[in-house]
A and B are shown apart, each in its own frame.
Chain A
Amino acid sequence: MRIVILSSSVYGETACAMALRMARLGYIPAGTLALRTLDRSTLLRKFGQWGGRGVARYARMKLMPNDGEGQGQVQNLYLMPLLKNGGGVFRSLHEVAHAYDFPVVSCADQNAPGAIALLKDWSPDLIIFTGGNILRQPLLNVPRLGVLNVHLGLLPRIRGMSTPEWSLLKNVPIGITIHYMDAGIDTGPILQSYQFSEASCCSLSDLRNRLIAFGVERIAEVVKALDEGSISATPQSDLDRDHQFFVMHDWLQERAAERLADSWEAFPGTVHG
């Protein structure tokens, strides 16, 4: 099984963890395609969004992700077991690629003709999406089986963005869905869904981090099952209804956090799984 990983940055922890998990499972990536960390249009956009100080902080975070007191640490502690590298941690896809010998390529747009040509050269059976652009059909057509995504919500009920938060507010069970991507937003065929107990999570970011780590583990199982031919995808039902959600406003996020805190207080120390 030839696997390619897409990432929003060469410093993406999830992408690094995913590449390591696949490599340790025996599926050393055929390549990884990451978006450039600092390109002009991104910086201009961020400048308009955050101002000069915000851009400086962003640039520093991207260029020196583990600078200063964060040296040797990772932002998502639940990925730490995967990212450990002797006494330190893998801090970029380049370091993972060096250890397992696969190419890492940066580009401005994963849908660009050059990027598509490169992906075709790698002739993947599967692409695993951990971040980047909204994928267009030419890219989706490249892999033999499809492009896999770990969606942090239970499809088809919660599509789109801020899905753990929306799940909390709407009393929909928390979980992840591993599915093939198609041209819609989280509308592709589903391979596997997993519920997840939020009762042990003390904050929204903690919940999100746990879900990401949970997703990296579960996608490894799905890839293995796909390789063995023991799993197949099911088209989503309910596509005629619009279950798309959008980035949640801060005020609603606070309400979601309160609901999470309520469940944490009700069941402290509950173990997820």
Chain B
Amino acid sequence: MPERRLLRDWDTQTHVRETHSEMTDFGEACKDRGKANNTATLAAKALSESAGLLRAPQRVLPLIRRLVSDKIRVTFEQTHLYSYTAAKRPSGEMLRACIAWILNAQRPDGGIAAYYSLLTGYSESYPEVTGYIVPTLYDFARTPNQSGSVLAPERAIRWLLSLQKPEGAFPGGLGCADAAPSVFNTGQILRGLVRAHGETNRSDVLQSASAAGKWLLQMQQPDGSWSGLGAYQRAAHSYYSMVAWSLAELSEHTGDRQYAIGAGRNLDWTLSHFRPSGWVDGIHLQGHSNYLHFIAYVLQGVLECGILQRRADAIDAVAKSAWVLLRKFETNKHLPGAFDRDFNGAQRFTCLTGNAQMSCVWLRLFEITDDLRYLNAALKMNEMLKQLIPSRGGPGIAGGVSGSFPVWGRYQPLRYISWGCKFFADALLSEQRLTRSFDMREFTVLSCAS
């Protein structure tokens, strides 16, 4: 039944199932079925998660350890204006720990788990994240002095190819090949396919990427957005700029202009949602906060797509928003986990994956503008993140990036999430690359939004 499949898709697509405001928020899809029903479902879900501890009591100790550790850290957290503390662990060691976490999360089917829950352990394989982790794994394997293997991304790609639908789309949700097609997840997986073809030159991978790209173009609305079937909550979202980035990459890779045109149309649509304050409208996630993760998605997608399409207007728009967030980070030592419109109403917890994504955005902006303040902020952000990642613990914990800090924060509570590791590994890889190639040329100060 299509509607039922769609509901399941809502429940699992684009991390949103996991982005609920409380542990008791699980089962967002049930909202439409009435509040009483919803509360019962949420309670059942929370109970079910908690029951994970009964099935595996060995998880109690790591859970308590992390809760106590975060409580102590929150109590004594430094709030001193303009201060920052350097982490003891070097970036290279931290990067290896993050990659080890990802490799441990690779399931027997080749997919990467969405998360490791302190209550229930590893989740099923998650196609979306498996797709866009592929470039990270290849980047690590190609890094000098690292012993990364290309076997893991190749296994991941093999699994992804087995999930692709005849029309070219990939399913939303966790590990279920029969789930409804998802625009966002297809776009994210497309990045992995494009990179994998670049690395392996396999024709079946290229065919798969082209089929995915064509399906995305078919699903695109005349205004350049994606809404309706295949879009989360059937609404158009500005964070689908990540899909535009994938299309722009596919176009660069294949030389086929039709993908670039589709990417450009979405870029125009997304840019129309940037406000003078730097805020981006159109995230449009009903029932969810505007988590930093999604704001950073918009910025990263627009920036990378803008770079590929040589669009100065896109780069300027992102620079303005990124500068607002940079100032907030520099003066508060962390970025809030969620915001209201115009960056107001900042919430107290931190969304770690959003922080790592912003580090990626700042590093990229440094790369293209030479403004050292972006590099400075990213280096400090990486220091902050390094301090919040456990160096000890079993697989699923050591080297893992939790959804929130403190770990009970609203974004992905009590979970170490694979996309958090992916973005932090990306940030550390960029840091290594840029600091290695840093020369003492004269750096100019470009005008940023104040």
Contact = CB atoms under 8 A, between A and B. Distances in A.
Interface string A224-262: 000000000000000011111111111110010011000
B221 to A, nearest CB: 37
Contacts of A47: 76
Given A169-B443, A258-B440, A247 B80 contact: no
Given A49-B85, A169-B443, A246 B77 contact: no
B438 to A, nearest CB: 7
Contact of A249 (B323, B379, B442, B445): B379
B376 A252 contact: yes
A134 interface: yes
Given A170-B443, A255-B440, A240 B450 contact: yes
Q: Number of contact residues on B: which range applies?
A: 35 or more
Interface in A133-180: 134, 157, 161, 166, 169-171
Nearest to B431: A251
Contacts of B73: 48
Contacts of A241: 447, 450
B19 to A, nearest CB: 29
Interface in A32-69: 44-45, 47-50
B77 A48 contact: yes
Contacts of B84: 247, 249
A48 B76 CA distance: 4
A249 B435 CA distance: 12
B81 interface: yes
B146 interface: no
Nearest to B448: A242
A45 B442 CA distance: 37
Nearest to A253: B376
B66 interface: no
Nearest to A240: B450
B69 interface: no
Nearest to A168: B440
A258 B439 CA distance: 11
B330 A246 contact: yes
B47 interface: no
Interface in B371-411: 372-373, 375-377, 379-380, 383
Contacts of A250: 86
Contact of B447 (A134, A171, A242, A255): A242
Interface of A: 44-45, 47-50, 134, 157, 161, 166, 169-171, 240-252, 255, 258-259
17 contacts: A45-B76, A45-B80, A47-B76, A48-B75, A48-B76, A134-B81, A161-B82, A170-B443, A170-B445, A241-B450, A242-B323, A242-B450, A244-B450, A246-B373, A247-B82, A251-B379, A251-B435
A-B pairs, top 5 by smallest CB distance, nearest first, are A48-B76, A242-B450, A249-B379, A246-B330, A49-B78
